[in-house]
């Protein structure tokens, strides 16, 4: 028996390759499916099943492409509503993969069709569970994504409470837990950085699995502090239900080098977005005026989904050398399939052709500290609310404006002021600055290193508050 977690940090997502006696099951595959096909081929094995723990909202699954390539059966939980043919497993239904068995445990709550797959080894012992978004390490899945006219988030939270206590908590403490996500995912509130655990450890450390917890307590705690779901979640869920273009076709259309003149002729058209995916330093040094920065070296795909409202947005790319295919692929992971090509030769070619470029002013935290001593500055903290509430600058002129809300709150920014922008480490602040500059707010200054660097200065900070008490 072989179990391999294939973890993608950008999405904080874990897919699983399970092999036994020449047969393979893939659980929650990413859209780039060739990796699973190649792995099975190398092992002289056949992919028999593609198991989905639920209809995903935070990424586009590779279930359809993988089934088409291999002939594998797509398996969802009870009552999964899909346009395409799939097999709806019944509660406790068993599936053989070589010498092992995967049992579908219906665990509604995150979504109505959510299932946890229990792996039973060749000796009949319960070995592991693949929990999807039902159970994370340190957290549980948010119960507000499948709300319908006759169901509220409280109803779904109640279902999740029952699922955890009747299907997962009775399992032996030694059973391994393989979740679909880790820290950084918007599918929960405070997921652990660890990506593999045990049922026993979760009973001890996960707030949602307290033995003496009442249903009302669970509902209250699991709903407390849940932010608004990113706007792209519903759109990705629809793609996963209805279907999508093959990744190879998306790459064929989007991974195209464009000369400076070709790029420019596209860029001037209405509704074309220029997306710069280089490092923040590269963007700071030079960029195409009006371009949006979201670097590949950070939480790229989730921020694309959060900030680009139209999933069919035509996109021109400015990429680091050799990263064009990666950029198009990572856009496609969250359903943005309309890349038109990338600037051949990058900014060097653009500047060499005599085209106009722009820069972003960035200063050190020490320089920022010195400037605060001379005058009252307008400061934008673009971190999440929880980060801000935990600790923030104590300055007159400070304004909190989380990055995921900035497009909707531009009216709260004064065009006559110069804004000093910071996040936690320097990635999100450059994104925020690019959004402001694209919307004609040109008086923006990035604080390099973000709040991590600011904390090393002598600037006054609010009292630290533990996130669990907020």
Whether 20 has a pLDDT exceeding 50, the answer reads yes
Tokens of residue 239, six digits: 């793609």
pLDDT value at residue 148: 74
| pLDDT band at residue 415 using 50, 70 and 90 as cut-offs | confident
CA distance 44 to 37: 11
CA distance 335 to 332: 5
CA distance 63 to 50: 6
DSSP string, 19-44: EETTEEEEES--S-THHHHHHHHHTT
pLDDT value at residue 386: 87
Tokens of residue 295, six digits: 């670097």
Given the DSSP bridges, would you call strands 378-381 and 419-422 parallel, antiparallel or unpaired?
parallel
Sole residue written with tokens 């093959």: 246
b/e for 299-321, b at 16 or more Cβ within 10 A?
Answer: bbbbbbbbbbeebebebbbbbbe
Residues 6+ apart with CB under 8 A from 89: 75, 76, 77, 78, 95, 104, 115
Whether 466 has a pLDDT exceeding 80, the answer reads no
Q: Which residue has the higher pLDDT, 404 or 465?
A: 404
Are the folds of 245-352 and 361-469 the same? Answer: yes
pLDDT value at residue 227: 81
**C-alpha Rg value of the chain to the nearest Å:** 24
Tokens of residue 351, six digits: 């500047």
CA distance 395 to 444: 18
Given the DSSP bridges, would you call strands 126-132 and 2-8 parallel, antiparallel or unpaired?
unpaired
pLDDT value at residue 366: 98
For the segment 133-161, what is each residue's pLDDT rounded down to a tens digit? Answer: 999 999 999 999 887 768 899 999 999 99
> What's domain 361-469's superfamily in CATH?
Rhodanese-like domain (3.40.250.10)
Whether 470 has a pLDDT exceeding 80, the answer reads no
Whether 382 has a pLDDT exceeding 70, the answer reads yes
| pLDDT band at residue 168 using 50, 70 and 90 as cut-offs | very high
Whether 469 has a pLDDT exceeding 50, the answer reads no
In contact, 241 and 315? CB cutoff 8 Å: no
Determine the straight-line distance between the first and last CA of the chain, rounded to whole angstroms.
44
Torsion of CA 196, 199, 202, 208, to 10 degrees: 120
DSSP string, 49-68: EEE-SS--SSS--SHHHHHH
The pTM for the full model equals 0.93
How far is C-alpha 304 from the chain's CA centre?
9
pLDDT value at residue 467: 58
The CATH class given to the 245-352 domain equals: alpha beta
Most confident of 24-28, 145-149, 226-230, 385-389: 24-28
What is the rounded average pLDDT for all residues in the chain? 95
Pick the closest to residue 324 from 315, 314, 311 (CA basis).
315
CA distance 337 to 113: 27
Q: Which residue has the higher pLDDT, 386 or 467?
A: 386
CA distance 306 to 336: 12
Query: Coil, strand or helix: which one is 215?
Result: helix
CATH number of 2-234: 3.60.15.10
pLDDT value at residue 186: 86
CA distance 106 to 112: 9
For the segment 174-216, what is each residue's pLDDT rounded down to a tens digit? Answer: 999 999 999 888 888 888 999 999 999 999 999 999 999 999 9
CA distance 265 to 259: 10
How far is C-alpha 25 from the chain's CA centre?
24
Domain residue extents for the chain: 2-234, 245-352, 361-469
Pick the closest to residue 445 from 418, 410, 469, 463 (CA basis).
418
| pLDDT band at residue 344 using 50, 70 and 90 as cut-offs | very high
Q: What is the mean predicted confidence (pLDDT) over 253-274?
A: 96
Q: What is the mean predicted confidence (pLDDT) over 227-243?
A: 93
Work out the number of other CB atoms within 10 angstroms of the CB of residue 356.
Answer: 8
In contact, 414 and 378? CB cutoff 8 Å: yes
Tokens of residue 224, six digits: 């407390």
In contact, 390 and 429? CB cutoff 8 Å: no
Whether 391 has a pLDDT exceeding 90, the answer reads yes
């Amino acid at each position: 028996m072989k179990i391999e977690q294939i973890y993608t940090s950008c999405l904080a997502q874990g897919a699983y390759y399970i092999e036994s006696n020449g047969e393979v099951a893939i659980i929650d595959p990413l859209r780039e499916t060739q990796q699973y096909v190649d792995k099975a081929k190398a092992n002289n094995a056949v992919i028999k099943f593609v198991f989905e723990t639920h209809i995903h909202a935070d990424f586009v699954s590779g279930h359809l492409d993988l089934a088409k390539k291999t002939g594998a059966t797509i398996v969802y939980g009870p009552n999964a509503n899909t346009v395409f043919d799939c097999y709806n497993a019944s509660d406790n239904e068993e599936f053989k993969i070589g010498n092992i068995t995967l049992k579908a445990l219906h665990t509604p709550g995150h979504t109505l069709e959510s299932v946890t797959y229990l792996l039973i080894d060749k000796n009949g012992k319960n070995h592991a569970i693949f929990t999807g978004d039902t159970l994370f390490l340190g957290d549980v899945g948010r119960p507000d994504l499948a709300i319908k006219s006759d169901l509220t988030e409280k109803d779904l939270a109640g279902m999740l409470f029952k699922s955890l206590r009747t299907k997962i908590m009775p399992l032996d403490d030694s059973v391994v837990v393989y979740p679909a996500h880790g820290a950084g995912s918007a599918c929960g509130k405070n997921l652990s950085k660890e990506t593999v655990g045990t049922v026993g450890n979760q009973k001890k450390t996960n707030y949602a699995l307290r033995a003496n917890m009442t249903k009302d307590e669970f509902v209250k705690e699991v709903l407390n502090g849940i932010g608004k779901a990113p706007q792209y979640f519903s759109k990705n869920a629809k793609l996963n239900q209805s279907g999508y273009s093959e990744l190879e076709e998306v790459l064929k259309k989007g991974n195209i080098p464009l000369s400076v003149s070709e790029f420019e002729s596209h860029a001037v058209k209405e509704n074309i977005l220029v997306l710069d995916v280089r490092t923040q330093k590269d963007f700071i040094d030079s960029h195409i005026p009006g371009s949006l920065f979201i670097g590949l070296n950070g939480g790229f795909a989730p921020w694309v989904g959060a900030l680009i409202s139209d999933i069919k947005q035509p996109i021109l790319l400015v990429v680091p050398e050799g990263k064009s295919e990666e950029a198009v692929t990572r856009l496609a992971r969250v359903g943005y399939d309309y890349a038109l090509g990338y600037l051949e030769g990058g900014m060097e070619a653009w500047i060499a052709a005599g085209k106009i470029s722009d820069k972003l002013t960035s200063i050190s935290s020490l320089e920022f500290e010195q400037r605060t001593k001379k005058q009252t500055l307008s400061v934008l903290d673009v971190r999440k609310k929880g980060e801000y509430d935990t600790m923030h600058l104590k300055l007159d002129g400070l304004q909190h404006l989380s990055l995921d809300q900035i497009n909707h709150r531009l009216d709260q920014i004064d065009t006559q002021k110069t804004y000093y922008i910071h996040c936690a480490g320097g990635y999100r602040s450059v994104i925020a600055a690019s959004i402001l500059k694209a919307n004609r707010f040109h008086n923006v200054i990035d604080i390099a290193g973000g709040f991590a660097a600011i904390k090393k200065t002598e600037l006054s900070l609010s009292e630290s508050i533990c996130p669990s008490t907020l």
